[in-house]
Amino acid sequence: MGAILSGCESEVRSSNNNAAKLTNGEQAAASQNIEVWPKLNPALDPDPAVEAKISHLMEKMTIEEKVGQIIQAEIKYITPEDVKKYHIGSVLNGGGTYPNNDKFSSPQDWLELSEAFFKASMDTSDGGVAIPIIWGSDAVHGHNNIVGATLFPHNIGLGAARDPEMIRRIGIATAKEVAVTGVDWTFAPTIAVVRDDRWGRTYESYSEDPAVVGAYAQAMVEGLQGDKSDADFLRGENLVATAKHFIGDGGTVRGIDRGDNQVPERELAEVHGAGYLSALPAGVQTVMASFNSWNGERLHGHRYLLTNVLKERLGFDGFVVGDWNGHRFVPGCSVDSCAAAINAGLDMFMVPSDWKALYHNTLEQAKAGEIGTERLNDAVRRILRVKIRAGLFEHIRPLAGKDGILGNKEHRELAREAVRKSLVLLKNNEKLVPINPSQNVLVVGDGAHNLSKQSGGWTISWQGTGNTREDFPGATTIFEGIQAFVAASGGQAVLSESGDFSASTFANGGGPDVAVVVYGEEPYAEWHGDIASIEYQLGEKSDLAKLKALRDAGIPVVSVFLTGRPLWVNKELNASDAFVVAWLPGSEGQGIADVLFTDENGNVRYEFSGKLPFSWPEFVHQTVLNPYHDEYQPLFALGYGLGSESESTVSNRLSEDGETYSIGELEDAWVLVSRPRAPWGLYIDDAGTLTSVTGNRMASPDDENITVASIDMESQEDARAISWKGARSGAVRLMANSKQDLSRYLAESSALMLDVRVDRKPSHSVTAEVRCGDGCVGALPLQSYLAELEPGSWASISIDLQCFAEQGADFGRVSEAFALASEEELNMAVANIRYVPGAAENAMVKCAG
């Protein structure tokens, strides 16, 4: 509770730097106090002509047509015929969905599908009213779902630039690229103000500073939609924008995606509301409800926040769209039925696949009065208002199908400018950078020539995974940018991902004069990207090894760090002479060379000007670190960033002891929560043959004796189904590369907890294991417990860690946090595997201790 504030009075600085005081009483309860929200007028004056047109349309609409308007389905699951038949109001393409299921669909293919949906929506042959459909897409760093688009740096990098005017230009460019494909609406910007950097959407946030988010939200909305006073506002080359995710998405406890935000209302308004207070006056037309809850109540069903605050107090007259099946989290709701969300103030359901069932149920609820007529009419009125304002009835699409806009030179130049301005220089011993280019430059690291890694999540695919060079026509890697510039300046740059080099590496026979090492996080997106620890390469450290090897060879080392959030990198900092945070720069990798190198005469070409949008941690426990926090002791403060000429001040001997668990309370140790959590990786062990489980489905070689597949328990792919055919005995193991000290979990009476589902009661031996290297294992028979479960249903199991210890597990050096072994045929599923402090007492399986 009150995660970021403690003491009886804490300060929350609002955008204008007036200090607002929070008292203890306010922190304690979620008592509602509408006064903490400013009273805003609607951004646009009511337009009687528009309202009259809406009334006219609505008089003719049947209740079926009205319900159709409030449904948004996904293009994989709906056809133009369906749109016509059910009078569906909207479609979206999710991350990684393309027309015809083809990643390489051309802009023309996108446009054709869009035209087909439009025509279907305007088809009145069944006697209905023609209402244009609206198509939404996540253009969150450029039109990132389409191959060939310009990919701008992710928001966190833009935050470092502190340049709202540039943000506006990026909005304009993005709108144009989207408009080419016939998409009317983008689910951007994300205006989350992040508190716990372990959240997997931290990079979608501009900053932890509400003032930066406030300024950017306005600029981006104006860039995407146009200025509200312009004649072509929302039309022509402009789009409809979304402020998301309302509200408090960045403030969930422990940074858990879709979790609970427990701050007092004043903080909700002043910190998490900062972007809304500027996006709404700028005229943003849609707001997306968030998955998260506020003090236990889900936003999708939050009448007070959606209706009383957003629509009434903040004067929002556009429409509230749900997030991906987000309504199903509301108590009493399911994916296909949720009157409560509409009644609370949601105007449009985002219901990708189950739209038909939801449509029928909602229609029944509307007919039965479970959803009031007035509320349904208000939702439809809001949707029609936005459609009219956006000119969808006129269907004027000046950019539709135009060649030469998507990924054009001008937009790529702008993205490159954004890359330059996003770079934050943290360390620069002896002014190593900017580097003179007329030298031998060794370019090292798996991020140097890797467009996937430099682009991050929400890139062509949802998680940004599975992309190769072919998926980025027109893009430039960081290495390519360096290579071209250095070559043109009389030097030579050579790529060596491993860092190895020899006497023949450089044409001039010399050794490297400097090494530029590019490394960092692998792509991820929402909720898959949540992490348990902010330590970079926890349990691995292969990049550190490269830095050290170069250092040992006497080569000055520049780190270029690709990341979606601040991470604990003291070791990497110590091993680098200079350290640049490049965030997730996107398609224009040349922007890095622009700043990293001087001209051939040693003159600075572009200053390092990026300022940290997030505070940088000195210790591993500093996951919630911002100036609004009482104990603010960052390694680098919010706003830090060296200029090209400034002296570096950071020590070369930062503490390398992460002090992970000695400070503060011991938290749950996640092993597999949605996905395996670092340092743990999931492996199939088929009679000794190990297979690493990487995709959604993986099987042991040859006869697929053991299979692991991702399935849904509560949310997408949060569980794993495991099947043993029984040809040989085998196991699934959660293993780390190096031994982990988990002894504090044993000391603090923890239990291993997991959710399981058995498809049939096992009649043979099934064991749970914790391993600690060769011959060191604690194994427990599990079948009698599994036999008590009801087949086909999920149940949770908890085992006192002491039981594993008594059987021989040494928690001081754990190599496998959990394994399940079976000798014969078995089908079961597992989820949420974790060590929970204090849970031993009530564990299902207990031991003496």
Q: Residue 112: which residues within 8 A CB-CB, separation 6 or more?
A: 99
Q: Which is nearer to ligand BGC, 139 or 305 (CB)?
A: 139
Q: How far is the CB of 623 from ligand BGC (least distance, A)?
A: 21
Q: How many Cβ atoms from other residues are within 10 Å of residue 821's Cβ?
A: 19
Using CA atoms, how far residue 675 sits from 165, 370, 524, 530, 709, in Å, is: 39, 39, 11, 9, 11
- Under 8 Å between Cβ of 677 and 532: yes
How far apart, in whole angstroms, are the C-alpha atoms of residue 708 and residue 697? 6
- Under 8 Å between Cβ of 249 and 298: no
> Closest-CB residue for ligand BGC?
94
Q: How far is the CB of 144 from ligand BGC (least distance, A)?
A: 11
Q: How many Cβ atoms from other residues are within 10 Å of residue 167's Cβ?
A: 27
Q: Is 495 exposed, middle or buried (0-12, 13-18, 19+ CB in 10 A)?
A: middle
Catalytic residue check, 323 = yes
The footprint of ligand BGC on this chain (CB under 6 A) covers a number of residues equal to 13
Q: How far is the CB of 594 from ligand BGC (least distance, A)?
A: 31
Q: How far is the CB of 249 from ligand BGC (least distance, A)?
A: 8
Q: Which is nearer to ligand BGC, 107 or 200 (CB)?
A: 200
Q: Which is nearer to ligand BGC, 464 or 585 (CB)?
A: 464
Verify binding: residue 457, ligand BGC, rule CB under 6 A: no
Q: Rg (Cα) of the chain, in Å, rounded?
A: 27
- Under 8 Å between Cβ of 224 and 176: no
Q: Which is nearer to ligand BGC, 97 or 476 (CB)?
A: 97
Catalytic residue check, 526 = yes
Binding segment for ligand BGC (CB under 6 A), chosen from 88-96, 529-537, 595-603, 670-678, is 88-96
Three-state SS string over 465-483 comes to CCCCHHHCCCCECHHHHHH
Binding segment for ligand BGC (CB under 6 A), chosen from 92-100, 539-547, 628-636, 837-845, is 92-100
Q: What count of residues does the chain have?
A: 849
Binding segment for ligand BGC (CB under 6 A), chosen from 54-62, 91-99, 294-302, 625-633, is 91-99
Q: HSE of 210 in the Cβ direction (CA atoms, 13 Å)?
A: 24
Verify binding: residue 349, ligand BGC, rule CB under 6 A: no
Verify binding: residue 206, ligand BGC, rule CB under 6 A: no
Site residues for ligand BGC, 510-549, by CB under 6 A, read 526
Verify binding: residue 208, ligand BGC, rule CB under 6 A: no
How far apart, in whole angstroms, are the C-alpha atoms of residue 391 and residue 386? 9
Phi then psi dihedrals of residue 572, to 5 deg:
-70, -35
Q: Which is nearer to ligand BGC, 258 or 421 (CB)?
A: 258
Among 716, 767, 783, 827, binds ligand BGC (CB under 6 A): 716
Among 86, 110, 118, 187, binds ligand BGC (CB under 6 A): 187
Q: Is 604 exposed, middle or buried (0-12, 13-18, 19+ CB in 10 A)?
A: middle
Q: Which is nearer to ligand BGC, 323 or 535 (CB)?
A: 323
Q: How far is the CB of 273 from ligand BGC (least distance, A)?
A: 18
Which two structure tokens, joined as six digits, stand for 151?
A: 């990919």
Among 80, 89, 95, 236, binds ligand BGC (CB under 6 A): 95
Verify binding: residue 68, ligand BGC, rule CB under 6 A: no
Binding segment for ligand BGC (CB under 6 A), chosen from 45-53, 90-98, 535-543, 748-756, is 90-98
Given the residues 323, 521, 535, 800, select the one marked as catalytic: 323
Verify binding: residue 65, ligand BGC, rule CB under 6 A: no
Among 86, 98, 276, 462, binds ligand BGC (CB under 6 A): 462
Q: How far is the CB of 696 from ligand BGC (least distance, A)?
A: 11
Which two structure tokens, joined as six digits, stand for 538?
A: 């926890």
Binding segment for ligand BGC (CB under 6 A), chosen from 93-101, 544-552, 553-561, 742-750, is 93-101
Which two structure tokens, joined as six digits, stand for 342?
A: 């509409």
Verify binding: residue 199, ligand BGC, rule CB under 6 A: no
Q: Residue 692: which residues within 8 A CB-CB, separation 6 or more?
A: 681, 682, 683, 698
Among 96, 273, 391, 586, binds ligand BGC (CB under 6 A): 96
Site residues for ligand BGC, 276-335, by CB under 6 A, read 323-324
Q: How far is the CB of 190 from ligand BGC (least distance, A)?
A: 7
List, as one string, the DSSP characters of 525-562: -TTTT--S--BTTTT--HHHHHHHHHHHTT--EEEEEE
Q: How far is the CB of 159 from ligand BGC (least distance, A)?
A: 18
Q: How far is the CB of 517 from ligand BGC (least distance, A)?
A: 33
Q: How far is the CB of 739 from ligand BGC (least distance, A)?
A: 35
Q: HSE of 265 in the Cβ direction (CA atoms, 13 Å)?
A: 15
Strand partners, 558: 516, 578
Q: How many Cβ atoms from other residues are within 10 Å of residue 760's Cβ?
A: 13
Strand partners, 451: none
Phi then psi dihedrals of residue 289, to 5 deg:
-70, 150
Phi then psi dihedrals of residue 119, to 5 deg:
-60, -45
Q: How far is the CB of 489 from ligand BGC (least distance, A)?
A: 42
Of 411, 442, 415, 423, which Cα lies nearest the Cα of 595? 423
Binding segment for ligand BGC (CB under 6 A), chosen from 87-95, 472-480, 553-561, 729-737, is 87-95
Q: Which is nearer to ligand BGC, 245 or 725 (CB)?
A: 245
How far apart, in whole angstroms, are the C-alpha atoms of residue 429 and residue 650? 9
Q: How far is the CB of 242 from ligand BGC (least distance, A)?
A: 7
Among 26, 65, 138, 163, binds ligand BGC (CB under 6 A): 138
Binding segment for ligand BGC (CB under 6 A), chosen from 95-103, 297-305, 378-386, 775-783, is 95-103
Of 302, 308, 385, which Cα lies nearest the Cα of 47? 385
Q: Which is nearer to ligand BGC, 244 or 453 (CB)?
A: 244
State the distance between the two ends of the chain, measured CA to CA, in whole angstroms: 32
Verify binding: residue 718, ligand BGC, rule CB under 6 A: no
Q: Which is nearer to ligand BGC, 324 or 804 (CB)?
A: 324
Q: How far is the CB of 140 from ligand BGC (least distance, A)?
A: 8
Q: Residue 627: which residues within 8 A CB-CB, separation 6 or more?
A: 13, 209, 615, 637, 638
Verify binding: residue 184, ligand BGC, rule CB under 6 A: no
Strands 71-74 and 814-822: unpaired
Q: Which is nearer to ligand BGC, 138 or 208 (CB)?
A: 138
Q: Which is nearer to ligand BGC, 324 or 597 (CB)?
A: 324
Site residues for ligand BGC, 239-278, by CB under 6 A, read 244
Strands 242-246 and 185-186: unpaired
Strand partners, 673: 675
Binding segment for ligand BGC (CB under 6 A), chosen from 55-63, 89-97, 125-133, 557-565, is 89-97
Verify binding: residue 685, ligand BGC, rule CB under 6 A: no
Verify binding: residue 94, ligand BGC, rule CB under 6 A: yes
Given the residues 177, 265, 267, 526, select the one marked as catalytic: 526
Binding segment for ligand BGC (CB under 6 A), chosen from 82-90, 94-102, 167-175, 759-767, is 94-102
Phi then psi dihedrals of residue 827, to 5 deg:
-125, 120
Of 404, 425, 370, which Cα lies nearest the Cα of 604? 425
Q: Which is nearer to ligand BGC, 187 or 506 (CB)?
A: 187
Q: Which of the residues are catalytic?
A: 323, 526
List residues near ligand BGC by CB under 6 A: 92, 94-97, 138, 187, 244, 323-324, 462, 526, 716
